[in-house]
Amino acid sequence: MTKKVRDYDKLAAQILQELGGEKNIISAARCATRLRLVTQNQPADAKQKISALAGVITVVEKGGQLQIVIGTHVDKVYDAFLKLVNIEGAAPSEQKMSVLNRIIATMSAVFAPFVYILAAAGILQGILILTCLAYPSFNTTTTYQVLSFMSWTPFHFLPILIAITASKHFKCNLYIALVCCAALVSPDWGAIASSIKSGENLYFLGIPLSETVYSSSVLPPLFLVWLLSYLERFLEPRINSVIKPLFLPLICMLIMIPLTIVFIGPISSHAASFIADSYNGLVALSAPLAGSVIGGVWEVFVIFGVHWGITPVVMANFQMYGHDSFQAFQTISVIGQVGAALGFYLKSKNHEMKGISLSAFITGIFGITEPAIYGVNLRFKKPFIYGCICGLIGGLVSGFFDPFYFAYAGLPGPLTIVNGISAEYPSSIVGIVIGSIIALIGPIVLTQFFGTGEKALTNDTVDEQPKIMFESVQIKSPMIGEVFPLSAVPDPVFAEKMMGDGVAIEPSDNHVYAPFDGEIKVLFDKSRHAVGLVSPQGVELLIHVGIDTVKLTEPYFSYHVSLNQNVKQGDLLMSFDMEKIKASGCPLITPVIITNSADYQYIDPIDQGLVTTQNTILIIKQ
């Protein structure tokens, strides 16, 4: 629900009650819009009950946290919540998270930053497949060879990409991690492994070497960097500071690279291969059964964030066999949720929700289903169920055609269906297309017959103050940079306008300026990552610099204003360290949100591309 709330103590007490009381709360934190809680045992219906509370926009479970989206009044609810519980309010430490949640958080932190690189390479491979079908002689040209090795480059050097993101996640030296993981894909090691594979017995310090190669591998570099982080922390205080810059990387290389190629690599590669073989065994036993399971429940895995965990299995299949059926069934599951969002759009009479569902459908075409899931399908439950049912049926039917993907898809979805084309397996693409049509059309039909799950709108919203009438208000850009629609923000709460309408800005400058004359109403003492203003007409604006930047505890941000200060358009509000934020792995794209959007009939984004503080980015009309 999106009712306005002013009884913060009551809302905090209600949330605590639904979560089982004070003894069940491990930690509490907040960002600009969300109350972030970790509980020992979450009651089964707590998420649904909290979502229904007045003042709660939605509830998202992510990385072991229950994230309660409240809006710019979250600070009041957070303060009231802390009065009810005896905790320090710190974000949960890794030790307080379950093993499963730590694995999920690790996989997400490692793969999310470069998933779009893999997706782009996968699309290029799909284009090459289509081009060769239309012009068979094209694959004999040098142009094809250049484009082909380009498309495979991110996968071949995947250990290096993992070194970059994993070193940030595990907090170890980036350059040591890079050189250790680069050694795994060295041509010299490839030559040694090839000699072993041909029957030659080779040894390192008397220990037999394995023929394992590490291009496109996932687990070996991941374990390497994880153990490297412990080794670094052990060595740091024990090496003299004078020789540390030289001897720390030397010792790490001498230990980690041989340890990986002798023990870690072969063991972890065999583990991934075992899991992949187990899945392939299920496919061999009954492909329709495997297809129905993956088609029906894959998007449930996405909700809980465990979908990254399948990457090693998929990569192992491509490495061992040159094709993979999991992504074929995964595509059908994705299309089921895309079809559900489209069905909602066609059936709904709510103008705002039609816009959200259409945006989610368009995003889903590119294989990104989080906006559809969080913004529409799960929110009203029925569309999500329709998508799962039709994904199950589509996966079941496609299983009779032995579907495979012959090129890795970073983001499986409608655009990657062409990855299932192969002259050697002509039935593969037929099965994928039939399954995808079922998954797309089925939810539309079910929505028409059984409804969207929307409830009748009520008029019980409480307005605290009389509205100031005006014809229009122009919002200037608070930053120098490039304007994007909110759908470009990699966070479903902002992307699907749950917090309100607005735009996003990718900054090219490290300052935030007042977009209108007004009063500072929201500041954050610790993180200083966002600022909220109110205009004389009552327009409430939130400027949230970057995504997930609330977790940055170092002084990445600086305020130049104080709470309740009056400012003029163009006044400097805050500044930030762009390089440090980028190095932390947080996207810098900045949502600029009208948090009381429901008060206005029209909020029109002005499409201007590159903007300065003199450009208008939003026009608000009553």
Answer yes or no: 323 catalytic. Answer: no
Question: What whole-number distance in Å separates Cα of residue 32 and Cα of residue 530?
Answer: 7
Helix axes 311-321, 326-347, angle to 10 degrees: 130
Per-residue confidence (pLDDT) for residue 5, from 0 to 100: 43
Cα torsion 231, 233, 235, 236 to 10°: value is: 150
Exposed (0-12), middle (13-18) or buried (19+): which is 23, by Cβ within 10 Å? exposed
Question: What whole-number distance in Å separates Cα of residue 325 and Cα of residue 333?
Answer: 13
**Coil, strand, or helix at residue 614?**
coil
Does 435 have pLDDT greater than 90? yes
Per-residue confidence (pLDDT) for residue 367, from 0 to 100: 75
Per-residue confidence (pLDDT) for residue 371, from 0 to 100: 66
Helix (H) or strand (E) holding 518: strand 518-522
- 463 falls in which pLDDT band (50, 70, 90)? very low
> What average pLDDT score do residues 386-415 get?
90
Question: What whole-number distance in Å separates Cα of residue 410 and Cα of residue 107?
Answer: 14
Q: What is the pTM of this model?
A: 0.49
> What average pLDDT score do residues 478-482 get?
92
> What average pLDDT score do residues 538-555 get?
84
Express as a percent the part of the chain with pLDDT over 70: 87
Answer yes or no: 31 catalytic. Answer: yes
Per-residue confidence (pLDDT) for residue 411, from 0 to 100: 74
- 429 falls in which pLDDT band (50, 70, 90)? very high
> What average pLDDT score do residues 540-562 get?
85
> What average pLDDT score do residues 546-562 get?
83
Question: What whole-number distance in Å separates Cα of residue 221 and Cα of residue 224?
Answer: 5
Which range, 350-359, 365-374, 497-506, 549-558, has the best average confidence (pLDDT)?
Answer: 497-506
Percent helix, percent strand, percent coil in the chain, to nearest 5: 55, 15, 30
Look at the block and give the residue holding tokens 């014809």. 471
Distances in Å between the Cα of 558 and the Cα atoms of 74, 510, 539, 543, 574 are 21, 10, 24, 14, 5
Model confidence pLDDT, tens digit, residues 106-141: 766 676 677 667 767 767 877 887 788 788 888 889
Which comes out higher in pLDDT, residue 365 or 471?
A: 365
Query: How many CB atoms neighbour CB 80 within 10 A?
Result: 18
> What average pLDDT score do residues 57-79 get?
76
Look at the block and give the residue holding tokens 């969080």. 374
Distances in Å between the Cα of 319 and the Cα atoms of 217, 244, 271, 447 are 8, 39, 14, 41
Bridge partners (DSSP) listed for residue 543: 531, 592
- 478 falls in which pLDDT band (50, 70, 90)? very high
- 456 falls in which pLDDT band (50, 70, 90)? very low
Express as a percent the part of the chain with pLDDT over 90: 27
The amino acid at residue 89 is G
Model confidence pLDDT, tens digit, residues 576-595: 988 888 888 889 999 999 98
- What is the length of the chain? 622
Look at the block and give the residue holding tokens 């029906």. 296
> What average pLDDT score do residues 31-45 get?
77
* Mean pLDDT computed over every residue of the chain: 82
Does 13 have pLDDT greater than 90? no
Reading the block at residue 417, the tokens are 């269906």
Find the largest Cα–Cα distance for the chain: 84
Residues 73, 169, 307, 544: which is the catalytic one?
544
Which of 310-319, 324-333, 488-497 is predicted with the least confidence, judged by mean pLDDT?
A: 310-319
Does 92 have pLDDT greater than 60? no
> What average pLDDT score do residues 171-190 get?
91
Question: What whole-number distance in Å separates Cα of residue 298 and Cα of residue 523?
Answer: 40
Beta carbons of 181 and 162 less than 8 angstroms apart: yes
Query: How many CB atoms neighbour CB 241 within 10 A?
Result: 8
Question: What whole-number distance in Å separates Cα of residue 46 and Cα of residue 121?
Answer: 41
Per-residue confidence (pLDDT) for residue 496, from 0 to 100: 77
Contacts of 106 (CB under 8 A, 6+ apart): 169, 222
Does 63 have pLDDT greater than 70? no
